[in-house]
Structure 1
Amino acid sequence: MIAFKRSFCCLLLLLGWASIASAQSKPPVIGYYVETETWSDPLEALGTLRADESVTLSATVTDTIAEINFDDGEQVERGRLLVRLEDAEEQALLRAAQAITDERRNASGRASQLQQRNLAARADVEDTQSQLRQAQADAQALEARLENYRIHAPFSGRVGFRDVSVGTLVTPGMALVTLDKLDVMKLDFTVPAVFLERLSAGLSLSATTAAYPDEVFRGDVASIGTRIDPVSRSVSVRAELANPDLKLRPGMLMEVIVQQRVRNTLVLPEAAIQPSGNRHFVMVIQQQENAPRLERREVAIGERRSGEVEVLEGISEGDLVVIHGLQLAREGQEVRILGIADDSTDIRSLLEADR
């Protein structure tokens, strides 16, 4: 009886060890379904921002400031009067010219009436009409001169600091205020000329700046320079960035990434790739009669980016590959799938759930 119990206990131990050995022979792995994603080869550069439109407004005549109609940093509309210079003398000259114009218009009218009654010569009528046109031209010239005493916004934008005051004597060329159109920004940068074939208008890009480290600004390439710098062997590129919140400012330094050669391709996490010399392999999980087995496949890879790699050949969309547990995985081995990693489930959460 005692011998029977010992044999029975030994049998149970053997079964337990067999069960443990069987479980240990199926290493736990985490899978990932191969997907097709939009891919591009990033081209990095440093760029400087410029306003879409930018001007420094100045006077064209010498006189004192009579009126200032803006505040520091104010958004103004096109055509708004910003600065008016003292123009009393020109206003008086204009009124005099208008009075002369009225007088000569009346004289021309009277001469025309007399000529219709054959009481005046045709030459006299022509002389009065010529004098009227001269007076009108003089009045128009004074009106044009008066516009030099009024400085309007040539386009809608944001003015800079007001560094002048009422009563300040200004001279031609003296800067009065800056005006920048900031709702769209121009981003200028250079890239090596060897990439010229890959560049074209319309390519999308992203840009970041130290002023807003958590934000990414997106835009498109607007134009490419027509000349190559003979010293740096680079070409100038200009992009446009939308700036609806007016966060970006002219002169900012930005890190630019141009998305070139945009295409759809198979993408895998780098963790799924097993390098071996110049060759690369992945472990594909094959479902065979409810017993998942591994198949080692050689793949051809393309470009890399942070944490991901482009796969050109060797696998197809929808294949299930191992991205965790490759250290114990072997060709033809049965595995225990802990779960599938995707955008909503990461490896860490799957490992914690298996504890």
Structure 2
Amino acid sequence: MLKRMIIMLILVTVLFGGIFGYKAVGNYFMNQFFDNMPMPPAAITASTVNTAQWQPTVNAIGSFAAVNSTELTTEASGIIRSIRFKNGALIKKGELLVQLDDSVDQAELARLKAAEQLAKLEQSRLERLFRDNGVSELELRRRESEAAQASAAVASQQARIAQKSLYAPFDGVAGIRQVSLGQLLTGGTTVVSLQSLDPIYLNFTLPEQQLALIEVGKPLTVRVDAYGEQAFSGVITAVAPGIRESSRSIEVQATFANPQQLLRPGMFARVSMTTGEPNTVTLIPQTAVQFNPYGNSVFVITEQDGQQIAQQRFIRTGEARGDLIAVIAGLEPGEQVATSGLLKLRNGAVVNIVENSQAEPSAELRPTPANQ
């Protein structure tokens, strides 16, 4: 009985050993088959390295600011008797904007003027008496002082009345008023904003390395999102004398004529200035470049034994415009670089270039159907 069980165990062991051995050998040969099976060519799109003439430019981001801008307030307190302007209206320098009730002040002014007149009459009378030795010089000087004090009181009251009127300090455009007719206004309360829009300033900064490229009087163009690709021309009118230590940048201010008031304070602007003569640059689509901290690279397509092979090559890139980027070193005009399917490529991979159905890359900063 024991001998029979031993024989059964041996047979079962041999059977299962054979099964597992068969599977192991099969898996080994299957892995060898797949490892040695050639990879199918990776489908990619490619572009030829070209050259073009690029005008060197200095680009920056800026913001428009009014030449004159203020929040108008009254110096005195009082009830608003009249509002003489409309929201958003063009305002001339010296134009009356708001008048506070000054009836009490006017009455006080009338009283002070009467007192002034009486003091001057008394002064004139004593001057005649003094000439006839009718009064002492001390008495005359006292009357002269009283007359002067009366005149000063009149002038002081007139100044208080003037504070009840709000005038425009410069030509500009009124904002939206913050007060209403009949409102009790306290001194220092904002009534309305006033901004001069023509001309208008543009403030922006540049890295200190570009200081030599700018000077007062240099023309520049800007574009703003509100008007698409419409360009506005201006001129640099001020360059700060020092460099910001925190950012190593320099402040620049340009001035733009703005007769139609299209440009408004606070608008975001893209600045462009041309410098020097056009240069010949080597160009490839930005989609061809793999940007990495350790260096930028592309896959160059070469012909080997009748097959197209992708070879990784490190390059040095320069300025980018629109869909294109300049290559400073690493590529020659006429070479082909992969522009899509880069993630499935490795050095030495066989590729199959397919037709690119996408629009051609453009150097336009904001491509549109018209320039694609």
Same fold (TM over 0.5): yes
- Quote the Cα distance in structure 2 between the aligned partners of 1:177 and 1:145: 21
Within the candidate set 141, 147, 165, 1:132 is matched to: 147
Measured at CA, do residues 259 and 125 of structure 1 come closer, stay the same or move farther in structure 2, by a change above 3 Å? farther
Within the candidate set 65, 87, 90, 1:72 is matched to: 87
Q: Counterpart of 1:215 in 2: which secondary structure?
A: coil
- Residue 49, structure 1, aligned to residue 64, structure 2: yes
- Quote the Cα distance in structure 2 between the aligned partners of 1:80 and 1:129: 39
Aligned to 1:59: 74
Q: For residues 300-334 of structure 1, give each alpha carbon's deviation from its aligned partner in whole angstroms, at most 9, with x where no partner exists.
A: xxx9999xxxxxxxxxxxxxxxxxxxxxxxxxxxx
Q: For residues 67-97 of structure 1, give each alpha carbon's deviation from its aligned partner in whole angstroms, at most 9, with x where no partner exists.
A: 1000011111100110011112211221111
Aligned to 1:180: 195
- Quote the Cα distance in structure 2 between the aligned partners of 1:186 and 1:194: 24
Consecutive unaligned residues of structure 2, counting only runs of 5 or more, are 1-53, 284-318, 323-372
Q: For residues 40-61 of structure 1, give each alpha carbon's deviation from its aligned partner in whole angstroms, at most 9, with x where no partner exists.
A: 7321001100111111101222
Of stretches 218-227 and 65-74 in structure 1, the one that deviates more from structure 2 is 218-227
Q: For residues 277-301 of structure 1, give each alpha carbon's deviation from its aligned partner in whole angstroms, at most 9, with x where no partner exists.
A: xxxxxxxxxxxxxxxxxxxxxxxxx
Q: Counterpart of 1:227 in 2: which secondary structure?
A: coil
Aligned to 1:247: 262
Of stretches 167-176 and 102-111 in structure 1, the one that deviates more from structure 2 is 167-176
- Quote the Cα distance in structure 2 between the aligned partners of 1:74 and 1:305: 42
Question: How far off is 1:232 after superposition?
Answer: 2.1
**2:56–2:278 contact (8 Å) kept in structure 1:** no
Consecutive unaligned residues of structure 1, counting only runs of 5 or more, are 1-38, 272-302, 307-355
Structure 2 counterparts to residues 90-239 of structure 1, below 5 A = 90-239=105-254
Q: Counterpart of 1:136 in 2: which secondary structure?
A: helix
Aligned to 2:332: none
- Quote the Cα distance in structure 1 between the aligned partners of 2:88 and 2:99: 19
The structure with the greater share of residues assigned to strand is 1
Question: How far off is 1:270 after superposition?
Answer: 9.6
- Quote the Cα distance in structure 1 between the aligned partners of 2:73 and 2:171: 17
Question: How far off is 1:269 after superposition?
Answer: 11
**1:203–1:259 contact (8 Å) kept in structure 2:** no
Of stretches 67-76 and 89-98 in structure 1, the one that deviates more from structure 2 is 89-98
Q: For residues 253-274 of structure 1, give each alpha carbon's deviation from its aligned partner in whole angstroms, at most 9, with x where no partner exists.
A: 011112344xxx6889999xxx
Paired letter, 1:130: S
Measured at CA, do residues 57 and 266 of structure 1 come closer, stay the same or move farther in structure 2, by a change above 3 Å? closer
- Quote the Cα distance in structure 2 between the aligned partners of 1:210 and 1:266: 28
Paired letter, 1:158: V
- Quote the Cα distance in structure 2 between the aligned partners of 1:249 and 1:131: 55
**2:219–2:235 contact (8 Å) kept in structure 1:** yes
TM-score by length of 2: 0.59
**2:55–2:278 contact (8 Å) kept in structure 1:** no
- Quote the Cα distance in structure 1 between the aligned partners of 2:112 and 2:183: 29
**1:84–1:149 contact (8 Å) kept in structure 2:** yes
Q: Counterpart of 1:218 in 2: which secondary structure?
A: strand
- Quote the Cα distance in structure 2 between the aligned partners of 1:205 and 1:174: 40
Paired letter, 2:153: D
Structure 2 counterparts to residues 73-88 of structure 1, below 5 A = 73-88=88-103
- Quote the Cα distance in structure 2 between the aligned partners of 1:165 and 1:78: 22
Q: Counterpart of 1:254 in 2: which secondary structure?
A: strand
Figure out how many residues of one structure are paired with residues of the other and give that number.
234
Measured at CA, do residues 225 and 269 of structure 1 come closer, stay the same or move farther in structure 2, by a change above 3 Å? closer
- Quote the Cα distance in structure 1 between the aligned partners of 2:194 and 2:55: 38
Paired letter, 2:60: A
**2:56–2:279 contact (8 Å) kept in structure 1:** no
Which has the greater radius of gyration?
2
Measured at CA, do residues 57 and 254 of structure 1 come closer, stay the same or move farther in structure 2, by a change above 3 Å? same
Measured at CA, do residues 62 and 237 of structure 1 come closer, stay the same or move farther in structure 2, by a change above 3 Å? same
TM-score by length of 1: 0.62
